[in-house]
Structure 1
Amino acid sequence: MEILKGMGLLLFTLGLFSLFSFKAPKGSKAMSGLANAAVATFLVEAIHKYISGNFLGFTFLGKVGSVSGSMGGVAAAILVPISMGVNPIYAVVAGVALGGYGILPGFIAGYIIGLIAPIFDKKLPEGLNTIIGALLIAPLARFIAMGIDPVVNATLVNIGQMISIAAQQSPLIMGFLLGGIMKVVCTSPLSSMAVTAMLGLQGLAMGIAGIACVGGSFTNGIIFKRLKLGDKSNIIAVMLEPLTQAPIVTKNPIPIYGSNILGGGLAGLSAAYFNIINNAPGTASPIPGLLAPFGFNDPKKVLIAVIFAIIGGTIGGLVGSVVFKDFAKKDYKSDKILVNGINKSNNDINNIGSKTPTEIATDTADTNVDSLNAKSNTESNAF
């Protein structure tokens, strides 16, 4: 029952996030800002507080991580409006006013400020807009965070806790289901870092999500390689950060997402079996998902879990490349220009530069005559 409740709430939440990301004004940019805020705070906290500080004994770095982790609301209220194109002064004013609040109130306050801040630039004269805007935005941002904080704790955070409880009660089943779903989210235009940050996922559930993104990156690499979805640069990019290859992913959803469910699910099983804990919300991405667990688990156990996750992701990629090979669309337009074409163009330019205007005109006339002769020959052959 807990599994059904946890997965049902997760799918419902993902649906809401998808609507917000694709339909809300500048929703996708706001989610991108939230993901960046999660990396700037939670990832730094996970590495420096728990690894550099607690594990290695560097007190200074431990303090850096602790302070960074407490600034989630500030970072979100700054980076979300900046991602939406707001004047950085307004964004920083909103952010510094949110000291003491978490990343979710910071996200919501930052999003609202991101929508209304441009009005100050339009309605107020130059110079005066900065002063009045700063004086009004600071209390407004904190008022929004103060009002939204209880609502967030009663909804999104509660959903995240229920998912975590389900993962604890049925780790292997949730490992496969949660791992598969989160890897699909990780590869889709909807940021998995933003989703897990908004849900406040921690513990085993966050460990499953992070390790699934690590193992699933090999699924994506194999799918891109075997189905010829791009060149080597595309393969490397999709393994490191899937969002960079969104045009190819959205054109080939069936083979990529279908393989991600299997590869991410198998990788999630590895995290569940070895009980990988991750108390850094928002680190569901290949690189953060690889680094963060070292702050909360025995490094040897993490390495073993990652190895098996890579094996699971590889299996998912190999199986998916066979099952979904007929679904691949390789007709995407590449932004690259062939090297031979560049060399030929350069040679033509150099040749033109060495000729007189009379010679250029003669060559052009000869080319036109050749084209007309070829056309007449083609028409006569047709008759």
Structure 2
Amino acid sequence: MEIFTGIFALLVALCLFSLFSFKAPKGNAAMSGLADAAIATFLLEAIHKFVLGNLLGIDYLGELGNTIGGMGGIAAAALVMLRMGTPPLYAVVTGLSMANLGILEGFIVGYLFTFIVPIFKKYLPEGVDIIVGALTLAPLANLFGTSISPALDMLMGTLADMITEATLLSPLAMGFILGGLIKMVCTSPLSSMALTAMLGLTGLPMGIAAMACFGGSFTNGVIFHKLKLGKLSNTISVMIEPLTQAHIVTRNPLPIFMSNFLGGSLAGMTAAYLGIVNNAPGTASPVPGLLSSIAFNSPEKLLIAALATAIAGLVGGIIGHRIYLHFFSKRVPIQACPE
């Protein structure tokens, strides 16, 4: 029952995440801002604080990483508003008001307050709107963020606990499901970094997500090469950052997502079996996932995991390619890449 509950919680979070991205006004842009914030805070914290600070003993970078890691709310509010087209001054003022608040609070405040900013420009004279807007936005944003923080912490904490507990009870089963789903999100126009940042995943579930994204990048390499989806540059790009090839992915979802689920699942199971952990939420992407994992695992274990998940991703790509050719290629032909 706990494993079922954990899987159900993950699917609910993924459905809500997808609905917001595709149906909410400027939802996809807001999610891109959240992913940017995860890179700007969690990734830098993982590398500077845990790797360069704690492991290598560079105190300055360790302190810097610790400081940056506590600014998730600031980064999320500002970057979400900038992605949605808000003037920089309003975005920065709103972001600064999120000091000492989490990345999810910053995301919600940034998204909602984006629709408030035009009111100042509409009803106030030019110049006055900036001053009044800045003075008004800061306390309103802070009060709103502070008021929703306890409920968000409880909700996201509950979801994360369900997923974590299910993963600890059945690592291989959750490695298969979590790895496959996260890798599909990683390759889709959605953002796996934003999803894992929202959930605040840490420990083994985040380790599975990070290594599934890394191993699954080789799945993408195989499927792009075998199906001749674009040029060599497209294949390299999709392995480094899948979102750069969204125009190809969205035209050929069946072979790509089917292969991604297989490759991500195999890589996720491998990471679960090896016990890879990652305490930097929001780093579920091929390169950030591998780099951030350096901070929380021994070099020997991570090297073995990197090689094993890469092989798992290659196997997933080969199997997915063969399944597509034998069962789907005539009914769902490959769509040419738009120039």
TM-score by length of structure 2 reads 0.97
Partner of 2:335: 330
- Supply the distance in 2 between the matched residues of 1:333 and 1:250 (Cα, whole angstroms): 11
Give the Å deviation of 1:253. 1.0
| Contact 2:186-2:242 within 8 A present in 1 as well | yes
Q: Which amino acid aligns with 2:35?
A: A
Q: 1:223 to 1:328 in 2, by over 3 A?
A: farther
- Supply the distance in 1 between the matched residues of 2:261 and 2:3 (Cα, whole angstroms): 17
Give the Å deviation of 1:172. 1.1
Higher relative contact order (CA 8 A, sep 6+): 2
- Supply the distance in 2 between the matched residues of 1:293 and 1:166 (Cα, whole angstroms): 21
Give the Å deviation of 1:330. 3.1
Give the Å deviation of 1:154. 2.0
Q: How does 1:60-79 map to 2 (within 5 A)?
A: 60-79=60-79
Give the Å deviation of 1:157. 2.6
| Contact 2:156-2:199 within 8 A present in 1 as well | yes
| Contact 2:49-2:61 within 8 A present in 1 as well | yes
Give the Å deviation of 1:186. 0.5
Partner of 1:303: 303
Partner of 1:102: 102
| Contact 1:182-1:209 within 8 A present in 2 as well | yes
| SS of the residue 2:301 aligns to | helix
Partner of 2:285: 285
Partner of 2:186: 186
Summarize deviations over 1:48-97 as a string: whole Å, max 9, x none.
11110110000000001100111011111110100100001001101111
TM-score by length of structure 1 reads 0.86
| SS of the residue 1:260 aligns to | helix
| SS of the residue 1:155 aligns to | helix
- Supply the distance in 2 between the matched residues of 1:246 and 1:328 (Cα, whole angstroms): 18
Query: Which runs of 5 or more structure 2 residues have no equivalent in the other structure?
Result: none
Partner of 1:363: none
Give the Å deviation of 1:246. 1.1
Summarize deviations over 1:201-237 as a string: whole Å, max 9, x none.
0000000000000000010111011001111111111
Give the Å deviation of 1:332. 3.0
Give the Å deviation of 1:315. 0.3
| Contact 1:196-1:282 within 8 A present in 2 as well | yes
Q: How does 1:226-245 map to 2 (within 5 A)?
A: 226-245=226-245
| Contact 1:51-1:294 within 8 A present in 2 as well | yes
Give the Å deviation of 1:304. 0.5
Summarize deviations over 1:307-338 as a string: whole Å, max 9, x none.
0000000001111111113134232321xxxx
Structure 1 stretches of 4+ with a deviation exceeding 3 A read none
Partner of 1:273: 273
- Supply the distance in 1 between the matched residues of 2:210 and 2:265 (Cα, whole angstroms): 12
- Supply the distance in 2 between the matched residues of 1:244 and 1:157 (Cα, whole angstroms): 32
Summarize deviations over 1:280-318 as a string: whole Å, max 9, x none.
000000011010011111011011101000000000111
Give the Å deviation of 1:36. 0.4
Partner of 1:145: 145
- Supply the distance in 1 between the matched residues of 2:72 and 2:336 (Cα, whole angstroms): 42
| Contact 2:247-2:338 within 8 A present in 1 as well | no
Partner of 2:221: 221
- Supply the distance in 2 between the matched residues of 1:193 and 1:120 (Cα, whole angstroms): 33
Give the Å deviation of 1:156. 2.2
Give the Å deviation of 1:116. 1.5
Partner of 2:43: 43
RMSD: 1.0
Partner of 1:196: 196
Give the Å deviation of 1:42. 0.4
- Supply the distance in 2 between the matched residues of 1:157 and 1:224 (Cα, whole angstroms): 38
Partner of 1:365: none
Q: Which amino acid aligns with 2:34?
A: L
| SS of the residue 2:243 aligns to | helix
Summarize deviations over 1:22-45 as a string: whole Å, max 9, x none.
111110000000000001000001
State the percentage of identical aligned residues.
Answer: 57
